[in-house]
Amino acid sequence: MKKKVICMMMAVTMVAGLMGGCGSSAGETQDAESTESTEETVEAEAVEGDFDSVNLRLSCNGTDQGTDTKTARLFADLVSQKSGGKITVTVFPNDQLAGGNMSKGLEMLCDGTVDIDIHSTSIISNLDNSLMVSTLPWLFSDYQEAEDAFYGDGGTYIDSVLQQKGVCYLGAVHNGFKAITNSKHPIAKPEDLKGLKIRVPGGAFFSAFYETLGASPQAMSWSEVFTALQQGTIDGHDNSLSTINSANVQEVQKYITISRHTYEAFTFMANAAKFNALKEDTQNLIKECVEEATKEMNQQIIADETTLEQKFTEENNCEIYTLTEEDMAAFKEAVAPLIEEYKGIYGEAACTAFGIE
């Protein structure tokens, strides 16, 4: 019989005796970054099932208030409640287990140091370049179209690629449509990017995109970006409004252009060997809770975007410019040959999965 379980999200400052992997009983101790307490009560029903008793280690790149971190904690809460406390998840934000290095964080998933990992599509493309296909400019018309792709044919394609690398795809949450920030001047046309040093997360396409528009792309790990922007080592970067806010980028960047030029997702992934060693009921519940957590957070991200624009202007004195259709046409024309080139690089299978002709 199902029983109701009500669980409060509690602050965590130290998690001791973590199990090193799925089903492991190793007496390893690791510090997890503190989780802020919240008054919100998350309620779910425990479900019947033959679940493993296991503690899973989940690593993500975001700050304590980042979308990926908040979604990870929501997932952890849900899976604990629904399993009756048998499945617990310890969340490590800021890629702290990898010393802030995103690429190393991904390696730790592949070698089984962590059980579950969340990284953006541009980072997981280090495993296979075709996974960058979903970041092609102006691919999705809205957030629902993006969600449908990552829980539809696009997600199936991602899983088929990751399985070859020893990784399972579990689902995705919006990182968001990107805006361009900088400290120099408003950006309303391609020429406005000329000469600006713009941080990119890595990957040949993002570098080529900004080079085509006359900017100087600078590859840099996310953990280094705020300081680089603050000190003027770089002039700007691009990111979703939610990520800009969680990292307080608006405090050191006066100009924000709502360009929606590319979409990125944070992908939930599991080490395949460890995940497949779990009981079927455990695997299914993990997938169910990932989907529930990500789709709930997706709705929150959409609702927050208008509020964030207002916050940036009123509290941080930022100047926000939203590209018009005419503005975007100029950008699209400038990068059209590049998009065609990269469709060929990513391949027909990848493009078909994401509805790209």
State how far the alpha carbon of 173 is from the alpha carbons of 45, 59, 153, 164, in Å: 23, 15, 16, 22
- Same domain for 123 and 269, yes or no, is yes
**Confidence at residue 102, expressed as pLDDT on a 0 to 100 scale:** 86
Residues 179/258, Cβ–Cβ less than 8 Å: yes
Q: The domain that contains 145 carries what CATH number?
A: 3.40.190.170
**Confidence at residue 63, expressed as pLDDT on a 0 to 100 scale:** 87
| Per-residue pLDDT band at 42 (split at 50, 70, 90) | low
pLDDT reading at 158 higher than 90: yes
- Same domain for 298 and 340, yes or no, is no
- Same domain for 135 and 220, yes or no, is no
Strand-pair category, 167-182 with 236-240: antiparallel
Give the separation between CA 268 and CA 238, rounded to whole angstroms. Answer: 22
Give the separation between CA 152 and CA 298, rounded to whole angstroms. Answer: 16
- Same domain for 331 and 286, yes or no, is no
**Confidence at residue 100, expressed as pLDDT on a 0 to 100 scale:** 86
**Confidence at residue 221, expressed as pLDDT on a 0 to 100 scale:** 86
What pLDDT, in 10s, does the model give residues 186-213? Answer: 999 999 999 999 999 877 999 999 999 9
Instruction: Give percent of the chain with pLDDT exceeding 90.
Output: 80
Domain count, the chain: 2
Instruction: State the DSSP string of 78-99.
Output: HHHHHTTTSEEEEEE-TTGGGT
**DSSP-derived 3-state class of residue 297:** helix
- Same domain for 79 and 211, yes or no, is no
Query: Residue range 9-24: average pLDDT?
Result: 33
Report angle CA 158, 164, 168 to the nearest 5 degrees. Answer: 55
- Same domain for 46 and 56, yes or no, is yes
Strand-pair category, 167-182 with 255-258: antiparallel
- Same domain for 287 and 219, yes or no, is no
Domain that holds residue 131: 3-175+264-304
Give the separation between CA 241 and CA 151, rounded to whole angstroms. Answer: 23
What pLDDT, in 10s, does the model give residues 171-180? Answer: 999 999 999 9
- Same domain for 111 and 257, yes or no, is no
**Confidence at residue 260, expressed as pLDDT on a 0 to 100 scale:** 97
**Confidence at residue 203, expressed as pLDDT on a 0 to 100 scale:** 77
| Per-residue pLDDT band at 8 (split at 50, 70, 90) | very low
- Same domain for 67 and 165, yes or no, is yes
What pLDDT, in 10s, does the model give residues 232-242? Answer: 999 999 999 99
Count of CB atoms situated within 10 Å of the CB of 201: 23
**DSSP-derived 3-state class of residue 54:** strand
Residues 288/354, Cβ–Cβ less than 8 Å: no
pTM for this structure? 0.84
What pLDDT, in 10s, does the model give residues 300-322? Answer: 999 999 899 999 999 999 999 99
- Same domain for 245 and 320, yes or no, is yes
- Same domain for 128 and 237, yes or no, is no
- Same domain for 258 and 321, yes or no, is yes
What pLDDT, in 10s, does the model give residues 255-303? Answer: 999 999 999 999 999 999 999 999 999 999 999 999 999 999 999 999 9
Nearest Cα to Cα of residue 264 among 156, 183, 158, 116: 158
Nearest Cα to Cα of residue 297 among 45, 7, 78: 78
